[in-house]
Structure 1
Amino acid sequence: MFRTALRNVLAHKARLLMTVLAVMLGVAFVSGTLVFTNTISEAYQKSSAKGFDQVDVAIQQAYRPDEGDRIAEQPKLTPALLAKVERVPGAKSATGVVTGFTALADQDGKLVGGGFQTQGGNYWGEDDPRYPITKGRAPRGPDEIAIDAKTAERAGYGVGDTVRLSVDGPVLTPRVSGIFTTDDGNVAAGGSLTLFDTETAQKLFHSEGEYDEITVTAAPGTSQDRLRSAVDAVVPEDVATTVTGEQLADRQATQIAASMSGLKNGLLVFAGIALFVGTFIIANTFTMLVAQRTKELALLRAVGASRRQVTRSVLIEAFVVGTVAAVAGLAVGVGIGAGMRSLIGTLGDTVPDGPLVVSPGTVATALLVGVLITMLAAWLPGRRAAKIPPVAAMSSVHAQATTRSLVVRNTIGALFSGAGIATVLYATTLEGSDGQVPMGIGAVLLIIGVFVLTPLLSRPLIAAAAPVLRVFGVSGKLARQNSVRNPRRTAATASALMIGLTLITGMTVMAGSLQTAIGKMAADSITADYVVSMANGNYLSPDVERKLAGTEGVTAVSPLRNAASRIEGQTEYVTGVNGGAIGELTKFAVDEGAFRVGGPEVVVDTETARRNGWKAGTSFTAGFEGGERQKLTVAGVYEANELIRGILMDNGTLERRLPADTLPADMMVMVKTSSGASDAAKDRLAKALGDNPAIKIQDGDDLSADIAQMFTLMLNLLYGLLAMAVIVAVLGVINTLAMSVFERSQEIGMLRAIGLDRRNIKRMVRLESLVISLFGGVLGIGLGVFFGWAAGELVASRMPTYELVLPWARMGVFLLLAGTVGVLAAMWPARRAAKLNMLAAIKAE
């Protein structure tokens, strides 16, 4: 039986080629994803570990929880503590570390690095071992900086050059005093690192006389654990915690691995989709192969082979095909992983140096996935063939599915579909994250149900295309009959395309609806002409508001400031606004009272009011940092959105309750001008802020464009990943048609003999392919719209401006794509059918 199985593989090389390609693409996607993410992850981890070469023990701030109505004052790492640590036995040196966001502009005024990766810090003394100076010297005073060598090369800066940078809004113009090298992983990944002297760094990052961390280097012969024990003896537990350099490196490596796991899991989801679609094709292929060899298998049964041996022979074939495909897929996947890494470089992003990582786990996964998927897909056809009695197989009485089997299949499909729809509809009645799990379960049940019901659905839907097919005469009529002749095969072929288009359509509907909702939210609730914020989402300096308020043509300005408070034993964040201007800059629907902010009067959103049992006129006491307390009264309850929510309080009242040394944190500044939004007004605001590349000045159109860009980028990524599933689906259509042509060789020969020319034979096969592909496309788009609507209902419970937006143009493109898939997939099978020798075909069995 083993030799027989191998001979069958060799005898059907052409027919199994498409199966090999389908499995190979799925395996390539999985292995390529693993190679790429493992390579990047290991490179980052090694780079991060190098960054702690000079750290044996790190001292970090301890966290004090809030209690009662008081906001806990967090401990500080002070020069006095640093001096104490320097005297610890076994300590060679101690360094005070200060870090923060620093946006550095290149010579064209554009931001260097990638937002959160543009960091700043302090250079310790005249010779900081963390950052060896290769050119120039260490920075001294507020007018000098040092920059890393990679940033200097990318931005074109050298020692003595004057640069433009920003920490929290205002533009600074220091001179480059030195260029240093670093093993910092962020710099290796394309970010930048700017160093100031320690006093300047402390002032810029709002921690004058304080450190973010203290690092200690061990003297020769002192272990990290021993040094840590000595440091613990002099550092109060409620002030700081300690960790060894090795633990710090391991912790950061774990964090990097965790952040990479999100990308890896996302890519693997789409690899799984490609494999899921490929499973249908493989199962379809083996079903047709087994059906064509039914008499051969029956003969094996007649000469003594058992059912188990027949099933085993089919599985052996699947094992051989799966192994070949898995090995080829692994090789292609390694190439994909290397290509993806190179592509990152060409797009302007860099990654740490390191070898291409092809781990044993990747190899094992690729082989296991390829072989198991193929064998599982082949098991059911093999088992079905083995159950057919030899006499029935030889006389072909088994060929048509029985009425009973179709009834059972349709009943199962209806039950799954009904359960799926019911579960999805139930999920839409829940709020937020509570409905996510039921929604996912319902979606899986519905997709399975529709797949099982596809043979039943194929007849009425394909019959609907009959009027169009009649235009093509005999070829069209034959194409329609062929496409419904074997509903199960048509269903398996169409389902591959259906799944891909379901996902694409659902995501497109969701993205378009969310984009519209967020754009409407901004337009409905913000009447300000401009919103000013940091490009990376960091807080703005209060100087930004003052400069904007003094700009020509500005009529109203309000920052949105964040401050923590304790209300009734819970931590609540309040948002400080300019009470006199906020009504002119925003427009919120008010459920109770009036939208009035000033003195002790505040407004709260409906969710906060409901959670605390507040109404218009309710009074409560808020505790702030430093122990200050303020009695507040709810003037009104407003309907919030994703941009502005919570407790809105007058900035004058808020600042009087904060310690004098506590600087407010401005999330954004809203601005209204006398002339409205215009290019001239925007230019005046930009010049007032020093044409700072780290600051965004956005009007309503800019906000909408930002939102559109975010969703477009996400969709393009998803389209690219799902293209793999579509490619696999194309192979499935080609495979089905090619084997269908082989099955119908005698029929095609007869059609040729009675006068159907080669042109009409080709047209018949093409139309059959087109009908099957459009059938899958219609099902996929229909399911995608349903899932998009259902998921949108979950979002609508938390976003009042959400409404379903159907992207008709894109859905038309998707349907056109399905038709194009059908036309392209039919090219080779149609050509093969037209070339059949009619006499040889008529004699074929």
Structure 2
Amino acid sequence: MFRTALRNVLAHKARLLMTVLAVMLGVAFVSGTLVFTDTFGSAYKNKSAKSFDHVSVAIKPDGGSRDDGQEAKQPDRLTDSLLTRAGKLPGATSALGSVSGFTALADKDGKLVGGEWGTTGANYFPGKDGKDPRYDFAEGAAPKSAGDIALDSRTADRTGYKVGDTVRYSTDGPVKTAKVSGIFDTDDGSVVAGGSLVVFDNDTARKVLGKSEYDEIDVKAAAGTSETTLKGAVEKILPKDTEAETGASLKDEQDRMIEQNTSSMSQVLLIFAGIALFVGIFIIANTFTMLVAQRTKELALMRAVGASRRQVTRSVLIEAFIVGLVAAVAGFALGIGVAVGLESLMNAGGASLPDGPLVIGPTTIVTALIIGVVVTMLAAWLPGRRAAKIPPVAAMNSVHASPTMRGLVVRNTIGSLLVALGAVMLFMEDNYVKSGGAATILVGVIVLTPLLSRPFIAGSGPLLKPFGVTGKLARLNSVRNPRRTASTASALMIGLTLITAMTVVAVSMGSAINKMATDSLKADYAVSMANFQPLTPKVHDKLAELPEVEASSALRTTWGEADGRDTRISGVDPKAFDKLVGLDFTSGSAAALKGDSALVDKETADAKGLKAGDTVTVKFDDDRTTRLKVAGVYKANEMIDGLFTPTPIVTPHLSKVQDQQVLLKMKDGASGKAEDAIVKALGDNPAIKIQDKDDISNEVGGAINMLLNMLYGLLAMAILVAVLGVINTLAMSVFERKHEIGMLRAIGLDRAKIKQMVRLESVVISLFGAVLGVGLGLFLGWVAGDSISGTVSTYSMEVPVGRILIFLAIAGVVGVLAAVWPARSAARLNPLQAIKSE
């Protein structure tokens, strides 16, 4: 049986080509993802390991600060005094204090270097030898005064800055200038990943970054002193709310974080690889079903001479094993190329991945081989089992075994039950159950595709009528074998279902954000730091003086509790606030905001039974409380929420007076002239972002579209596999029907008509899958939107008609292109040879 299976593979190698390609592409995606993430993680681990060479024990604050950068007032912990004491501990040779923070560096064109989140400033802390072990200077020297800075070598290469050049930078608002004193190499993870690092002398760094204490104190152990021993000594001098960790512990923690990050990336890529493999299952099952059908007499003869059902099934599975093994090996080799391509693609996009050797682990090799073989054998098992169940006498009486009605009835019953179950799950409250219901309906529709194919293809009759006899033949051929048509269409349907659903959600979400920005903001401009960290109050002071400004207010934000409920507390100018923000009030108004009063969001008010005129107790993060009169209750959204009160109420509770954002209403509205005035007033600052309503909407919409385009790219693999499926099905169908095609040629149907018949059949099947996919995609988009609308008040489903028409047009083009080779093969058949009996 093994020799028979091997001969069959070699005999049908051309017809198995598309199956090999489908499995190969899926395996390539999986193995490429695993190789890429292993390489990426290994390189980052190697880089990060060096950054802890100077750390035996690190002293850090116990707990972090708020995301908005504002903290309640608290005593300093990591002071110069603590640093001196740590450096003098027994077993310690040195202690290094480090500070860092957002520092926007302008390139020679005045634009921000390193992106909104990767521009960092840090201190140069010389040890006893006058050097800081974190930085290895390649040119120049370390900064020594407020007029000096040093740049990392990657940033210097990108910007073209050299030692002695004057650069512009900003940390919290005003633009400053300094000279480049030196250029250094660093293994800082942010820099390696494409960010920039600016280094100041220690005193300047603490001043410009607004640090009253160090972020971390790193203590280096003397020779012969273990990290554990030194940690014990350090713990004896720790102030309240601080902790000590060994360098080894910090390295392990960073390794775990890197593994988590690469694991998340790997999981996303593997999901799409899984989709491609799932689509490939339809192609494999189709291929083996058709191969088995074409060899019905051969299998029946084997049964007649003594082969058991199990042996016949095993023979088909051995064929699948050989095909899967070949595809898996080829896919793994291609996957290495995919990994290299992913790295090049990310570097081209500015990610600047760390250098390192390609990592090909044994787990990746085994996974690729197992996936390729197992997926192929699973897909081939059902056709093999079905072939083995055909009685030998019945099989010898016909060339091809027709599918039984009983099998279709069972399939349709199962599909209907799955759709009904999924529909019931959609009415549940839990979002996870709803998602499961949507997935169940998707599976149910896949099972029902043979049943759905008949009415759709029958409905395509009027469209095919102008093509005459070839159109009629194409329609009849499409419904000749519902299972085959369904499997081919399902492969295309899955990809288009996901693409349509994601497009609907993305377009609807973009419109919701745009509506939210339009409804919530009366201000013409919102001014903030590029990384959304706090601004210095000087920014608002400068902008408020502009003659073009009609009204302005800074948002001075902190956190606290309103009657025991956690909330964001924003200090605003009560005289200007109503001109800058549009709030939907359920009671009271913004006009009543003055003195010791506050505007409270409806969720907080409902939880505590508050209304306009009531009193709310507000507790700030510094544990001080105050009582405020409720001036109004408004409906919050994702852009505006929390408690608003006059700025003088908030300021005394901040450790450092800073503004989160500045809102501006211009006398003549938003315009190029108005924006130029703002930019000029702020000194053409690269750190500050100036946005009108459209900019705010486009920022969110741009992120959504970028994510959507990435998903399109990933799902293109599934669509490509589906195209291979259409080609495969048509090619084998042509081979299966060569006797019939020969008869058509003999009675006068020319080659052009034969080609047209195959092309129309391909287009009909492709459009069936596309229409089904778009319909399901719209349904899944509605389900997802129903969950989103509960949290995004302005969300409503929008159908992107233009994009959907493009999807359908692409499906038609796919049908035409997929039919090129099969149509050509059909047209080239010799009528006399084709008519000969098999």
Q: Give the alignment's TM-score, normalised by structure 1.
A: 0.96
Deviations 1:322-355 (A, max 9, x none): 0000000000110011112122233333111101
* Partner residue, 1:594: 589
Aligned residue type for 2:723: V
Given that 2:438 and 2:783 are in contact with CA atoms closer than 8 Å, whether structure 1 keeps it comes out as: no
- How far off is 1:627 after superposition? 4.1
Aligned-partner SS, 2:653: coil
Alignment of 1:585 with 2:583, yes or no, is no
Alignment of 1:559 with 2:561, yes or no, is no
* Partner residue, 1:638: 634
Alignment of 1:173 with 2:177, yes or no, is yes
* Partner residue, 1:143: 147
* Partner residue, 2:81: 80
* Partner residue, 2:615: 619
Aligned-partner SS, 2:541: helix
Aligned residue type for 2:682: L
Given that 1:605 and 1:638 are in contact with CA atoms closer than 8 Å, whether structure 2 keeps it comes out as: yes
CA distance in 1: counterparts of 2:23 and 2:548, whole angstroms:
65
* Partner residue, 2:30: 30
* Partner residue, 2:274: 272
Aligned-partner SS, 2:139: strand
The partner residue of 1:163 within 159, 162, 167 is 167
More divergent stretch after superposition (611-620 vs 581-590): 611-620
* Partner residue, 2:124: 123
CA distance in 2: counterparts of 1:34 and 1:610, whole angstroms:
50
Aligned residue type for 2:109: D
Deviations 1:379-421 (A, max 9, x none): 1111111111111111239833333322221111111112222
* Partner residue, 1:483: 478
* Partner residue, 2:102: 101
* Partner residue, 2:217: 214
Question: Per the alignment, do residues 64 and 192 of structure 1 end up closer, same or farther by CA in structure 2, a change over 3 Å counting?
Answer: closer
More divergent stretch after superposition (396-405 vs 767-776): 396-405
* Partner residue, 1:603: 599
Given that 2:123 and 2:199 are in contact with CA atoms closer than 8 Å, whether structure 1 keeps it comes out as: yes
CA distance in 2: counterparts of 1:519 and 1:286, whole angstroms:
51
More divergent stretch after superposition (754-763 vs 537-546): 537-546
More divergent stretch after superposition (55-64 vs 441-450): 55-64
Aligned-partner SS, 1:563: strand
* Partner residue, 1:293: 295
The partner residue of 2:348 within 346, 349, 355 is 346
Question: Per the alignment, do residues 187 and 450 of structure 1 end up closer, same or farther by CA in structure 2, a change over 3 Å counting?
Answer: same
- How far off is 1:86 after superposition? 1.4
Aligned residue type for 1:461: F
Aligned residue type for 2:606: R
CA distance in 1: counterparts of 2:410 and 2:157, whole angstroms:
70
Question: Per the alignment, do residues 829 and 807 of structure 1 end up closer, same or farther by CA in structure 2, a change over 3 Å counting?
Answer: same
More divergent stretch after superposition (282-291 vs 765-774): 282-291
More divergent stretch after superposition (360-369 vs 472-481): 360-369
* Partner residue, 1:678: 671
* Partner residue, 2:528: 533
The partner residue of 2:789 within 779, 791, 796 is 796
* Partner residue, 1:283: 285
* Partner residue, 2:136: 132
CA distance in 2: counterparts of 1:271 and 1:328, whole angstroms:
16
Given that 1:562 and 1:573 are in contact with CA atoms closer than 8 Å, whether structure 2 keeps it comes out as: yes
Aligned residue type for 1:108: D
CA distance in 2: counterparts of 1:275 and 1:52, whole angstroms:
42
Given that 2:296 and 2:399 are in contact with CA atoms closer than 8 Å, whether structure 1 keeps it comes out as: no
The partner residue of 2:519 within 497, 517, 524 is 524
CA distance in 1: counterparts of 2:748 and 2:399, whole angstroms:
31
Aligned residue type for 2:88: R
Aligned-partner SS, 2:569: strand
Given that 1:778 and 1:815 are in contact with CA atoms closer than 8 Å, whether structure 2 keeps it comes out as: yes
Aligned-partner SS, 1:576: strand
Given that 1:71 and 1:566 are in contact with CA atoms closer than 8 Å, whether structure 2 keeps it comes out as: no
CA distance in 1: counterparts of 2:387 and 2:472, whole angstroms:
32
Aligned residue type for 2:808: L
Describe how 1:309-324 pairs up with structure 2 within 5 A.
Answer: 309-324=311-326
* Partner residue, 2:391: 389
- How far off is 1:709 after superposition? 1.7
Aligned-partner SS, 2:14: helix
Given that 1:557 and 1:671 are in contact with CA atoms closer than 8 Å, whether structure 2 keeps it comes out as: yes
More divergent stretch after superposition (511-520 vs 689-698): 689-698
More divergent stretch after superposition (370-379 vs 186-195): 186-195
- How far off is 1:515 after superposition? 0.2
Q: CA RMSD in A?
A: 1.8
More divergent stretch after superposition (792-801 vs 377-386): 792-801
Aligned residue type for 1:541: T
CA distance in 2: counterparts of 1:72 and 1:112, whole angstroms:
33
Aligned-partner SS, 1:334: helix
Given that 1:63 and 1:74 are in contact with CA atoms closer than 8 Å, whether structure 2 keeps it comes out as: no
Aligned-partner SS, 1:558: strand
Given that 2:293 and 2:400 are in contact with CA atoms closer than 8 Å, whether structure 1 keeps it comes out as: no
* Partner residue, 1:786: 779
Aligned residue type for 1:246: A
Given that 1:392 and 1:398 are in contact with CA atoms closer than 8 Å, whether structure 2 keeps it comes out as: no
Aligned-partner SS, 1:15: coil
- How far off is 1:97 after superposition? 0.9
- How far off is 1:108 after superposition? 1.2
Aligned residue type for 1:365: T
More divergent stretch after superposition (322-331 vs 112-121): 112-121
Alignment of 1:688 with 2:681, yes or no, is yes
CA distance in 1: counterparts of 2:826 and 2:488, whole angstroms:
19
Given that 1:71 and 1:565 are in contact with CA atoms closer than 8 Å, whether structure 2 keeps it comes out as: no
Structure 1: tracts of 5 or more residues without a match: none
Aligned-partner SS, 2:685: coil
CA distance in 2: counterparts of 1:769 and 1:154, whole angstroms:
51
Aligned-partner SS, 2:54: coil
Aligned-partner SS, 2:794: coil
Aligned-partner SS, 2:117: helix
Given that 1:63 and 1:75 are in contact with CA atoms closer than 8 Å, whether structure 2 keeps it comes out as: no
Say how many residue pairs are matched. 830
Aligned residue type for 1:37: T
Alignment of 1:439 with 2:434, yes or no, is yes
- How far off is 1:664 after superposition? 3.4
Deviations 1:23-50 (A, max 9, x none): 0000111111111122112111211111
CA distance in 1: counterparts of 2:542 and 2:263, whole angstroms:
43
- How far off is 1:570 after superposition? 4.7
CA distance in 1: counterparts of 2:205 and 2:134, whole angstroms:
16
Structure 2: tracts of 5 or more residues without a match: none
Question: Per the alignment, do residues 72 and 196 of structure 1 end up closer, same or farther by CA in structure 2, a change over 3 Å counting?
Answer: closer
Given that 2:297 and 2:399 are in contact with CA atoms closer than 8 Å, whether structure 1 keeps it comes out as: no
* Partner residue, 2:44: 44
Aligned residue type for 1:681: A
Aligned-partner SS, 2:166: coil
* Partner residue, 1:59: 59
* Partner residue, 1:89: 90
More divergent stretch after superposition (529-538 vs 365-374): 529-538
- How far off is 1:74 after superposition? 6.6
CA distance in 2: counterparts of 1:122 and 1:107, whole angstroms:
24
Aligned-partner SS, 1:366: helix
Given that 2:556 and 2:650 are in contact with CA atoms closer than 8 Å, whether structure 1 keeps it comes out as: no
CA distance in 2: counterparts of 1:841 and 1:387, whole angstroms:
30
Given that 2:150 and 2:200 are in contact with CA atoms closer than 8 Å, whether structure 1 keeps it comes out as: yes
The partner residue of 2:746 within 748, 753, 764 is 753
Question: Per the alignment, do residues 65 and 806 of structure 1 end up closer, same or farther by CA in structure 2, a change over 3 Å counting?
Answer: closer
Aligned-partner SS, 1:174: strand
- How far off is 1:707 after superposition? 2.7
Aligned residue type for 2:625: R
The partner residue of 1:399 within 398, 401, 417 is 401
CA distance in 2: counterparts of 1:454 and 1:301, whole angstroms:
33
* Partner residue, 1:153: 157
- How far off is 1:710 after superposition? 1.4
Deviations 1:107-135 (A, max 9, x none): 11121113222111110134212213332
Deviations 1:646-682 (A, max 9, x none): 1111112211x425xx223422211111111000000
The partner residue of 2:649 within 640, 650, 653 is 653
Deviations 1:461-480 (A, max 9, x none): 11111011110000000000
CA distance in 2: counterparts of 1:517 and 1:712, whole angstroms:
14
Identity of aligned residues (%): 59
CA distance in 1: counterparts of 2:561 and 2:132, whole angstroms:
42
